[in-house]
Amino acid sequence: MSRIGKNAIVIPEKTDVSVADGMMTVKGPLGSITKSVHSMVSIELEKGTAKVVPANTSKLARSLWGTTAAHIRNMIAGVNKKYEKKLTLEGIGYRVELQGKSLKFIVGFSHPVIVPIPQGLEVLVEKNAMTVSGIDKDAVGQFAADIRQIKKPEPYKGKGIRYVGEYVRQKQGKKAAATSS
């Protein structure tokens, strides 16, 4: 039994949730998000609440039960308040620029890395800090992970792209060999 799935989902006043033809749409003050709903679960809408119900007791239906409920909660939260991920660039000479609808990274490669910004997301660049924001939690998290993947923080000097507050464990490095005669 899913602990997340069995709880009713509260729908705020300014938010509208609708389900039709296997697609669920959540509309709110910041925009709307549409996602498909698997056939193994169904969504029951009542006054101010939504409830996810599994179609049967199969393992797939039970696993999708809580996942679908979590997706609905994230969609409702996203159309009311934007999700944010903050990243920072560490390293001498490392920098990032906003060029129209893309980001240009200079992170120690022989060439700059240009990454297009997906539609529906906003990126704010201040010196060597970036803030990725949007109403879709999945898209914000995936784009932030894609940015981090360009140059992960390395364990010796800590250079690279990291999340704000992320701790990078540093390794000792080589020690000078002691001269013995």
d(CA 48, CA 9): 8
Asked if 9-80 and 83-163 have one fold, the answer is yes
**CATH class (in words) of the domain with range 83-163:** alpha beta
* Residues 53-100: tens digit of each pLDDT: 998 989 999 899 999 999 999 999 999 999 999 999 999 999 999 999
d(CA 39, CA 47): 23
The listed CATH number (1.10.357.10, 3.90.930.12, 2.130.10.10, 1.10.3720.10) that belongs to domain 9-80:
3.90.930.12
Q: What is the DSSP string of 103-147?
A: EEEESSSSS-EEEEPPTTEEEEEETTEEEEEES-HHHHHHHHHHH
DSSP-H helix ranges across the chain: 59-80, 137-150
pTM passes above 0.85:
yes
* Residues 118-131: tens digit of each pLDDT: 999 999 999 889 99
